Chain A
């Protein structure tokens, strides 16, 4: 019998296990503070899932995630607070914002080969932050926007730390995971990887490289904008101060720590990087120093992050199991 434990657990079982975990999780959470951290993990996972398309699969570094996140949050927040529309419409508007950013920024920077996306997204995020700070009549300047309304379903308000809001976020996360999964395993996902691994041969196979890159970037920016809109609702307050380059770097680190190019890795990275500051409180001030050191070392020695640890242990386990199996059959 060559079957091993992890192969036995098929993809469907893994998905069901994850879903059950998501549903049962609120049972173990008693304080609203922990609930908000959990919600943040979900929102960060959505951003990293999007970032995974352009950085993980296509291999173009996007350093402007904070700018997308900020524009998504402001689109939804301004619509709901100034025009008084429902947060759901704000959420849909942020999707359109994402498409707009993806195309307008992706077209100039990805049409030509080279690392231009990194440079333009870096300045894009800074410019967005500066505009949000200085266009005071519209955005409220550095003071930001306060009292962003909560979501309602059939007249029931979903409070910021309520279980209902958590389930709504979880449903959106599951939706985005399904979208990512379908895309990664479709001809689009294969084209993404082909463009990353060998652009010349991808082009020979009839793949339009710039279209693929712009598509992946647009996906990233839509995911980022939706997550931004959700973040605005979760916090109830946004200000341009928090959307710095540091934030973009943190999202890239989430992707790196988890394991670049995989859905599980993206979510694991988002969870770990969001939780670690809470777990490593004792390090206090020097936390980020240690964390950056870990990321640097993992970039050099274990480029696939947590996911490479997972594959390492899986291979070890398989080896062990097949050895056991060999012994058992030999003795009989």
Chain B
């Protein structure tokens, strides 16, 4: 029973992380039609900024370094949107995708040259367990669940209640018409890239206790985010949340039924193939997935 609860909690936490990853690339996809291939490298970069620069090199406390690294990621997002994304979105899809891929390579190599190829971790950051009497839960997972839930609620309010969110949804539906309605599509791209990179920074900080800080730390999380996007419905933000939770909890279920933890990544791959065969639009298909 105890392990079952622990598995459910860790599955939920990882599922919420996948939600964030899916949201983060869906934001850019919706405003520019760009499939961002570098997104897992941005997560890695955020983790390196937090762990490598602010905590270890500058010796700041955890909270200020987390805030500073996330904000810095937002600034990086503005730069990337202006310099790379806006020229790339006008190109045919294959070139645009290769461009984002090259950008991710640049980011990875810059990280490797700055911090070195060795892996490290931030000692004492969200480590340990919290005991609830009948079950003890790792502190990271609890923290991930709280932070991501707040973030998801905040993001939903932003999308539904503010003018910015309305413009986002309008651009996602129809770029030409929304530009006729007085929405600056290019500003929307910059705003979405900034939000996307902010979320990447938050994910990077949150998963450090789970994966450690290495160059390949977010590879698997990155492709799980894509899988969550396909399962939930490509291009839909609510679908991203549902897809992420489905992927995370399916993994937990697989482990609960005694599956070998090594093969839990295969399960989500099988899941995406099944979804493509049976329900290619995903669980929530807000629009036809003809990206």
Contact = CB atoms under 8 A, between A and B. Distances in A.
Interface of A: 55, 59-61, 63, 108-109, 111-116, 118-120, 122-124, 126-127, 130-131, 134, 244-246, 249, 252-253, 256, 260, 285-286, 288-289, 292-293, 295-296, 299-300, 303
Contact of B88 (A63, A253, A260, A299): A299
A151 B268 CA distance: 39
Contacts of A111: 276-277, 280
B227 A296 contact: no
B266 A295 contact: no
5 contacts: A59-B92, A63-B37, A108-B277, A296-B84, A300-B88
A111 B276 CA distance: 9
B102 interface: yes
A122 B226 contact: yes
Contacts of B230: 116, 119
Contact of B266 (A122, A127, A244): A127
A119 B269 CA distance: 10
B204 interface: no
What's the dominant secondary structure at chain B's contact region? helix
Contacts of A120: 269, 272-273, 276
A116 B220 CA distance: 17
Given A114-B289, A119-B223, A292 B106 contact: yes
Contacts, number: 124
B21 interface: no
Contact of A115 (B35, B105, B220): B35
Contacts of B101: 63, 249, 252
Say which size band chain B's interface belongs to.
35 or more
B227 A119 contact: yes
A253 B102 CA distance: 8
A123 B227 contact: yes
A292 B94 CA distance: 16
Given A108-B276, A119-B226, A123-B269, A296 B94 contact: no
B109 interface: yes
B160 interface: no
B98 A124 contact: no
Contacts of B88: 299-300
Contacts of B263: 134
Contacts of A288: 105, 109
Given A119-B227, A119-B230, A252-B101, A55 B94 contact: yes
Contact of A286 (B37, B84, B113): B113
Interface string B71-103: 000000000000010011001111111110111
Given A61-B98, A246-B105, 11 more contacts: A112-B280, A112-B289, A114-B290, A119-B223, A122-B223, A131-B266, A253-B98, A292-B106, A295-B98, A296-B103, A300-B84
A286 B110 CA distance: 8
Given A126-B220, A296-B99, A299-B95, A112 B87 contact: no
Contacts of A60: 94
Given A113-B290, A293-B106, A299-B91, A256 B98 contact: yes
Contacts of B280: 111-112, 114, 116
Nearest to B262: A134
Contact of A289 (B92, B109, B265): B109
Top 3 nearest A-B pairs (CB, nearest first) are: A292-B105, A296-B102, A289-B109
Nearest to B84: A296
Contacts of B291: 114-115
Contact of B98 (A109, A116, A246, A252): A252
Contacts of A59: 92-94
A249 B105 contact: yes
A289 B113 contact: yes
B252 interface: no
Nearest to B103: A296
A127 to B, nearest CB: 5
Contacts of A252: 98, 101
A292 B223 contact: no
Contacts of B98: 61, 252-253, 256, 295, 299
Contacts of A260: 94-95
B119 interface: no
